[in-house]
């Protein structure tokens, strides 16, 4: 009942955001915005993760994970200076995910890709009434954009398994976010390469591993444009707040997640806090708290949805409302206890083999 009531609230919100973004005015004059990615929401790289936080477990040899996750953020950037305002009202981002497991000798590897497609709408105020009381000559300063964002390619491996010993996992993800934006100056993506690395530390509790906890931390570099100042869109009468957002040359992405399997492999509750600590910059401090559920459609496939909000809404990249919905599908037979035996031949698929 709780899942149904929550989904009825989130689905209309996502639908309205998409419609609003698509219906935003696409005027002929310049629509100046930045080449900074102000949407920090990125789902885990594979089906083993939590929501945005990754887990150390990797896909098995030649296992495949596919999915699509759509997220919506409202008011990811708001500038005010007297009666002059600028805002990014809605950003809706469907992202395609794919991952493939590969074992090379003792090394457990995983190759993954993420392809975001974003739709944004925003506005500047006040509008220009043309000096007359009639609305026919009014000049509105809305802005909008849509297109491909920064495609991410990822390499994941692990060094410790949660299925052995103290049930502590240790993993590593190396990523590169490519300058693949199909539309510039719309806050859809960055215009330079972004190398990144993230360390994963996680632990599972209980014989059935009902309680899981994970921490991610790493580094991300920005090689392209990192700063944008709102000086208007170039049209006469265009509002300008003259305020700046700057993501800095590097940031430290962090994330903490906890998951409780109410019914193992059927229904999970998940809570997260994630964001980044910029090394420098201005008016940029992504930090969000989200909660969500996973409803399993099969052993390794699930439907996920949830929501949350930014924790520092006076800074850029903090939505005052967040929602997401997605489906992750793993067509191969999985190894949910992580002991190396596929579930169809594992006599105890929820209890890892003790190799000692």
- Segments making up each domain of the chain, as ranges: 2-229+239-329
Whole-number Cα distances in Å, 43 to 52, 69, 70, 71, 281: 4, 7, 9, 9, 25
Residue 175 has pLDDT above 70, yes or no: yes
Query: How many other C-beta atoms lie within 10 A of the C-beta of residue 248?
Result: 17
pLDDT tens figures, 281-292: 999 999 999 999
Nearest to 45 by CA among 149, 147, 155: 155
Contact (CB, 8 A) for 288 and 311:
yes
Contact (CB, 8 A) for 74 and 89:
yes
Model pLDDT, residue 340: 55
Looking at domain 2-229+239-329, its CATH class is mainly beta
- For the CA atoms of 180, 181, 187, 189, the dihedral, rounded to the nearest 10 degrees, stands at -10
Residue 24 has pLDDT above 70, yes or no: no
Mean pLDDT for 14-32 is 46
Which is more confident, 266 or 347?
266
pLDDT category at 20 given cuts 50, 70, 90 is very low
Model pLDDT, residue 147: 97
Alpha helices, H only, the chain: 2-23
pLDDT tens figures, 116-161: 999 999 999 998 877 777 776 678 899 999 999 999 999 999 999 9
- Look at residue 153 and give its three-state secondary structure: strand
Give the least confident one: 84-93, 113-122, 139-148, 326-335.
326-335
Model pLDDT, residue 10: 46
Provide the residue count of the chain. Answer: 356
Query: How many other C-beta atoms lie within 10 A of the C-beta of residue 187?
Result: 25
**Torsion sign over Cα 13, 14, 15, 19:** positive
As given in the structure block, the two tokens for residue 321 are: 């409302």
* Matching residue, tokens 């030649």: 62
């Amino acid at each position: 009942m709780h899942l149904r009531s929550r989904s009825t609230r989130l689905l209309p919100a996502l639908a309205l955001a998409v419609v609003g973004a698509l219906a935003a005015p696409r005027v002929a004059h310049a629509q100046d915005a930045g080449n900074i990615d102000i949407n920090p929401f990125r789902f885990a790289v594979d089906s083993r993760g939590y929501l945005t936080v990754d887990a150390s477990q990797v896909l098995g040899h030649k296992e495949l994970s596919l999915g699509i996750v759509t997220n919506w953020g409202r008011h990811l950037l708001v500038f005010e200076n007297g009666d002059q305002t600028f805002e990014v009202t809605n950003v809706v981002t469907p992202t395609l995910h794919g991952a493939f497991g590969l074992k090379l000798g003792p090394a457990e590897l995983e190759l993954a890709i993420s392809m975001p497609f974003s739709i944004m709408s925003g506005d500047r105020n006040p509008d220009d009434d043309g000096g007359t009381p009639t609305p026919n000559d009014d000049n509105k300063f809305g802005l909008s954009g849509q297109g491909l964002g920064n495609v991410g390619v990822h390499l994941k491996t692990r060094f410790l398994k949660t299925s052995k010993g103290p049930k502590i996992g240790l993993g590593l993800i190396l990523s590169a976010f490519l300058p693949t934006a199909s539309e510039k100056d719309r806050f859809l993506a960055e215009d330079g390469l972004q190398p990144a690395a993230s360390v994963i530390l996680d632990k599972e509790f209980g014989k059935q591993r009902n309680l899981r906890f994970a921490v991610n931390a790493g580094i991300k570099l920005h090689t392209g444009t990192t700063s944008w100042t709102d000086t208007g869109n170039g049209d006469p009468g265009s509002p300008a707040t003259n305020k700046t957002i700057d993501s800095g040359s590097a940031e430290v992405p962090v994330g903490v997640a906890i998951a409780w399997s109410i019914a193992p492999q059927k229904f999970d509750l998940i809570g997260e806090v994630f964001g980044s600590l910029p090394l420098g910059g201005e008016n940029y401090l992504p930090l969000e708290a989200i909660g969500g559920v996973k409803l399993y459609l099969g052993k390794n496939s699930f439907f996920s949805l949830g929501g949350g909000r930014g924790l520092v809404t006076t800074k850029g990249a903090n939505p005052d409302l967040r929602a997401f919905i997605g489906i992750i599908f793993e067509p191969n037979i999985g190894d949910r206890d992580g002991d190396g035996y596929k579930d169809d031949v594992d006599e105890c698929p929820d209890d890892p083999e003790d190799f000692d």
